[in-house]
Amino acid sequence: MFTVMLKAKLHMARVTHAVLNYEGSCAIDGELLDMSGIRENEQIQIYNVENGQRFTTYAIRAEEGSQVISINGAAAHLAGPGDRVIICSYAHYSEAELENHQPRLVYLQEGNVVSHTSNAIPVQLA
């Protein structure tokens, strides 16, 4: 049996571009891709914190160090420059893999600069 688990997350990324007339996808600064472990052409989920939109697309590499998060194609109707988004990827893990699984979490601050990384989401307090 396999379980779908969070693989990687870019938390509170700021959309820098929205390009409607593009084939589709989400361009992400190559350094952020590498740090998070999200691969080029990997399916990603994007959650728009500003308007609640949630959508699926795939990641493409933007120039390293550019801090670019570009929502392209039809998804450009769902998120625009300045919006805060959470970008997640998920993977299927076997029972054996689950024992040591830890997601790669990258937390961003203004300008899509990394504030810190983690492998565990904090427990939500009551």
CA 98 – CA 76 distance, rounded (Å):
35
Residues flagged as binding site for substrate: 57, 73-75
Residue type, 15: V
DSSP per-residue string spanning 10-42: EEEEE--EEESSSSSEEEEEHHHHHHHTPPTT-
Binding-site residues from annotation: 57, 73-75
Catalytically active residues are: 25, 58
Q: How far apart are CA 62 and CA 58, in angstroms?
A: 13
Q: Is 112 left (phi over 0), alpha (psi -120 to 50) or beta?
A: left
